[in-house]
Amino acid sequence: MVAPSTAPPTSAGLRRVVAASLVGTTIEWYDYFLYGSAAALVFGRVFFPESDPLTGTLLSFLTYAIGFVARPLGALVFGHFGDRLGRKKLLVVSLLVMGGASALIGCVPGYDAIGVAAPILLTTLRLVQGFALGGEWGGAVLLVSEHGEPERRGFWASWPQGGAPAGNLLAVGVLSLVTTLQSEASFTAWGWRIPFLLSAVLVGVGLWIRLSVDESPLFKEALAKAERRKAAQGSEQPPLLAVLRHHWRDVLVAIGARMAENISYYVITTFVLAYCVEHLKIEKQAALNAVLIGSAIQFCLIPVFGALSDRLGRKPVYLVGAVGVGGWAWAFFALLDTRSFPALVLAVTVGLVFHSAMYAPQAAFFSELFATRMRYSGASIGAQFASVAAGAPAPLIATALLSSYGDATPIAVYVTSAAVLTVIALAAARETRGCDLARVSRVSQVSPGAVGDPSDSDGTAGETAASSV
């Protein structure tokens, strides 16, 4: 095993990096999930008032899904420059872009004011949101993964993952507060805009915190080596091409691993609002509160599952979540159909517990698959291309299935099928727990026929090590 040449940061420094990543991802996910919740609750009436309620919700979810289309583009652009310029710079840009788009959504007039231009503007801003988020996730988890020690990487890297439930908690909490304080008419007319306009304030806080951290020391070392290679060889392969050449299997594993995680999450937290309010005629506040409670519990569980992956491995913990969510899909809708609030809370919470078992180790798992100079690109491409096939259409497909069949059985089949795909992907993956990111970097960055660093293993040993991760 080759020891990394970069010293680990102090405990205080690592905690500062973790806090900066968590706060930044929370704000970005707040903006992103706020749109999904608003699409389920109010966008159908504001931007598609000429349609019946279920069709209006379906059209709202279509604009919601379109945002996912831009996420792979964000992954490519941010990944490329993040691997060339550094993680921190691109994370600042993604935060500004996301916050600006969200604040502008709060200013878009409704259909009654400007007609078809309203949903067009809404969709355009949703695309900008997707572009920003496509670059956010990879940079945030890598900044922590590359600072932390291998033995506890699963735990530390899981904290930025906590930004998803924290952001959803914040988004649903603000919406819940607004709906409690306002009448239905006021909320539909203008109250829903308040949470989006709040994004401008939150971005200022996130920017101040994110600017306070330093770049990953592992990336600095890799950048210095890349500059020496470039000076000696005259050029360096672009990160995207390097990923497709050296890590295409890892990209496929990441895409497959995301299927159950992504689909289940958006069914449990976004589609559930439309299912409860439009189909079961449950009060909006009850549905929001159930997601609120489940998200709070999930936020607490994510670091627990992250730490568990350090002890048991990434794959076993991930598998528990995939198998669990595939089975729970059937109980989930059965509990919702009782129209009982305790049953609703139980359905959402247990679903998010199984989701946490997948989501918590995901950051460390994906980070450990790729070399440093292509890690931002590789992890982002794997994660965000999966989101187009998984998270993007999940509420849309679920709503269409409900509209066609009138019950949730086909939706449960849909979630279970996604779980099967994830189990297959994990079966094809190798365990990465405890791997040395610096060693992955050195092995993968040596191009065929080139001379490696003096600290590298010999070529044969290096290739064997690379295949093991």
Residue 459 has pLDDT above 50, yes or no: no
H helices of 86-192, in order, are 87-105, 111-114, 117-145, 153-161, 163-181, 184-186
Q: Which pLDDT belongs to residue 139?
A: 77
The more confident residue out of 206 and 345 is 345
Residue 322 has pLDDT above 90, yes or no: yes
Q: Binning pLDDT at 50, 70 and 90, where does residue 402 land?
A: very high
Report percent pLDDT > 90 for the chain.
32
Residue 388 has pLDDT above 90, yes or no: no
Q: For the stretch 426-465, what's the b/e string if a residue is b when 16 or more beta carbons lie within 10 angstroms of its beta carbon?
A: beebebbbbbbbbbbbbbbbbeeeeebeeebbeeeebeeb
Q: For the stretch 256-283, what's the b/e string if a residue is b when 16 or more beta carbons lie within 10 angstroms of its beta carbon?
A: bbbbbbbbbbbbbbbbbbbbbbbbeebe
CA nearest to 233, candidates 463, 448, 86, 82: 448
How far, in Å, are 133, 251, 352, 435, 436 from residue 386 at the CA level? 14, 10, 19, 24, 26
pLDDT tens, 193-249? 999 998 888 888 888 877 777 776 777 776 676 666 666 665 666 767 777 777 888
Residue 299 has pLDDT above 90, yes or no: yes
State both tokens at 54: 């279920």
Say how far apart CA 194 and CA 196 lie, in whole Å. Answer: 5
Q: Which pLDDT belongs to residue 436?
A: 74
The more confident residue out of 245 and 451 is 245
Beta-carbon contacts of residue 85 (< 8 Å; ≥ 6 apart): none
Q: Which pLDDT belongs to residue 229?
A: 63
Q: Binning pLDDT at 50, 70 and 90, where does residue 371 land?
A: confident
Q: Which whole number is the average pLDDT over 76-103?
A: 82
Mean residue pLDDT across the chain: 82
Q: Which pLDDT belongs to residue 307?
A: 96
The more confident residue out of 65 and 273 is 273
Count CB atoms within 10 A of the CB of residue 201: 12
Is the alpha carbon torsion for 301, 297, 19, 194 positive or negative? positive
Q: Which whole number is the average pLDDT over 363-370?
A: 88
pTM of the model: 0.78
pLDDT tens, 441-450? 444 443 333 3
Q: Binning pLDDT at 50, 70 and 90, where does residue 414 land?
A: very high
Whether residue 320 contacts residue 353, with contact meaning beta carbons closer than 8 Å, is answered with: no
Place of tokens 């920003």: 132
Report percent pLDDT > 70 for the chain.
87
Q: What's the angle, vertex CA 447, arms to CA 369 and CA 225, rounded to 5?
A: 80
pLDDT tens, 146-192? 776 788 899 988 998 998 888 888 888 888 888 888 888 888 888 89
Q: Which pLDDT belongs to residue 237?
A: 66
Q: Which pLDDT belongs to residue 440?
A: 61
Residue 344 has pLDDT above 60, yes or no: yes
Say how far apart CA 269 and CA 371 lie, in whole Å. Answer: 34
